[in-house]
Structure 1
Amino acid sequence: MEIVLNQIKSKYLEIFSLLDIDNIEKTFQKVASIKGPLEAKVFIINESISCHQLSKLKNHFDKLYICSLCIYSNNRETILSGKSLKIDSTFIKGQEIKNKLLLLNSKNKDDILHKGTLRSGDRISSNGNLCIIGDVNPGAIVSAKKNIYVWGKLLGIAFAGKSGNINASITSLYLNPLQLRIADVIAIGPKDKPKNCYPEIAVIDKRTIIIRPHIIQN
């Protein structure tokens, strides 16, 4: 079981494992000093958690300033236990849980390499460069303080140079985004699909985002 606490005001993120739900006092002592309001997400893979166990977990959350609590699991009994306690509980596949945890763990890292497709609702952010081997589907959002590289289709929203770096760029094998942003310059994606069969790069030129062929020189 993985627990994610998100401090809403400061966007502070704490991720920790709970190996024994029947002995959770020591685990919660470590996070008792985190000030709220907090959002709590509980990810459970291949575990059947009873109503009694979840009730005990919820009681510990109640001691913190929790404004929302969600459970994600691939075990239907766990989901039913959560719903019986009126906890927001969602059934998703185990691989989807792993992908969500990967994205959350990546938030505090610098350069990030992500392998896999980002679907609608997924978000990934880097404090350095961001390289994605896979597609960024419509509804997904990717951002980086430096450059963004998508080794696949960029169909969602991309924000490079989020700290104000006007020299940042966005590169993709197939560039057809809903929106591009570099520093404080924003561009809406083209209505027509790209006809080119080569990588393209988006950069700022005279306060406008332009797209041109991305030529890699040896």
Structure 2
Amino acid sequence: MDLVEPIALAAPASILIGPTGAGKSTIGLLLSKRLNLPSVSMDGIAEPYYNECNFGIAVFQQLRAEQGFLATHRQWEPVRVYAVERVMSECGRVVLDLGAGHTHYENPVMFDRVKQAISSCPNVILLLPCADLDRSVRILKERCMSERGSDWIKDGYDFIAHWVKDSCNHDLATMTIFTEGKTPMETCEEIIDRMVTSSIEQNR
């Protein structure tokens, strides 16, 4: 069978979450082809939603220059929540790459709003390199340094470590997929197998 050919699976929308560098964009495109659903990247469509809150990227960059990245990022939490709520109300049946920053919140009220917004999706897939979280952090840092020139430590705050280790992504996920040692297509097929199994179990 041609592995990139769409399969006949009446799957609901799927959401990919995880740290920067975890492979959400790559796996999202493969899943969209296999499931015959549109692929949507939150980072690619969120700017209009940010602007509706008068806190677009230009405003973020201006405040970052004045206050630093971390302080600005924390002020931006309600804007990111609003963007998630909007995209979930509008996107329909898609494979959604939710982006690293849209699932990580220090304010529990903001996190609960996002959790509620995505609760209708039974397939919230957390991508990590491996079950060893310290190793996952090291792998992702090396990957981000190699590909993007950043270790994602901003104003003393280790974003990658928090994205990997704190409870936010783990609480949101309905399944966790470890990617180390697998090709993107193998990871894609594992996700589909897990989705099919979950669907069968829910329909029993």
Task: Report the TM-score range of the alignment, normalised by the length of the smaller protein.
Answer: under 0.3
TM-score normalised per structure 1: 0.25
Higher helix share: 2
Higher strand fraction (1 or 2): 1
Larger relative contact order, structure 1 or 2 (CA cutoff 8 Å, min sep 6): 2
